[in-house]
Amino acid sequence: MNYRTVSLFSGIGGLDLGFIKQGFNIIWANDFDKYAVESYKANIDSNIVYGDLNNYLEDIPEHDILLAGFPCQPFSLMGKQQGFTDERGTLFFTIERILKKHKPKVIVLENVKNLLTHDRGKTINKMLGILEDKLNYKVYYDVLNTSDYGLPQTRRRVFIVGFLIEEFGEEVDTFTFPSPEKLNETVFDLLDENVDKKYFLSNRILPTILSNGSKNYYSKSEINLKIAKPLTATMHKMHRANQDNYYEDFVNRNKFEDTAEKRVSAIRRLTPNECRKLQGFPDNWKYVVSDTQLYRQFGNAVSVNVSEKLAFQVKKVMEKKYDGESNGKIN
């Protein structure tokens, strides 16, 4: 069956890719970041629209499934946590308008796990009230960790899945989130064989990066972690090692000489290509933007392995409803 899918706040398509792998058809997508749109067009499809979603509401086609990794900054610990008072936080109500008009059979929303505790739980309860009581969806939500689905990165995100009760009837009770799986690789299995000198830390900045912070913000710095800390959209700024990921790499360090202008250590940050791998994007991914934008894009993205596992669970419910019991498996 052709599951017509619309994607909002698509970014570079981490959520979309998982659903595409499971046979869902993305017929329309949107994002307000022009660099993310460039990457999406180069790697997924040209059917993504660049610009403010509110300007394109009338252009959204009829669809069966709505995907939306709506902006997380209003709820993130990395942001100011202003919630619905932040203009970006009100985009949930834009989603509500779209759901009222199109009544998609299934909705899949993604955000930071802090959404569940924001404003002492009032924010998530308001969202659930709208989805369940006003729009008549049976809603499930859970926090999924990237490291539980085959990628060595600690990345916990909340996923909200809703099934339109009038469409699915008793089938709405058959959905389950994907079960955690054994992790069979570490970051060291994904590190690049050849790494440019520009990714290595200078001896001058090294003490700052490896420090444990100040008395007002103390957190132990660690390097060489087998399971990476969460990738962030600000990796290009190089935070201390208590926040970002750093690794010793003597093999590549020994391939180049110091200069009078810069003496470098054997410790480096992750490359954009390694970030791609830690987020599950394919090896043939085309890089059409700068390193700074690549760090932002992979740091903001939904892990593809997680979205594919989730898409499979959603597909099982839909196939049971429309095609009979599913016997499919993710390879």
Catalytic residues, by residue number, are 72
State the Cα–Cα distance between residues 175 and 306, nearest whole angstrom. 16
Decide if 11 contacts 297 (C-beta within 8 A): yes
Residue 261 is which amino acid?
A: E
Backbone angles phi, psi at 123, to 5 degrees: -65, -50
C-alpha dist (Å) from residue 209 to 120, 165, 213, 296: 34, 52, 9, 20
Residue 88 is which amino acid?
A: R
Decide if 80 contacts 119 (C-beta within 8 A): no
The widest CA-to-CA distance across the chain, in whole angstroms, is 71
State the Cα–Cα distance between residues 158 and 83, nearest whole angstrom. 15
Which residues touch 148 (CB under 8 Å, ≥6 apart)? 180, 181, 183
Question: 25: which strand partners?
Answer: 4
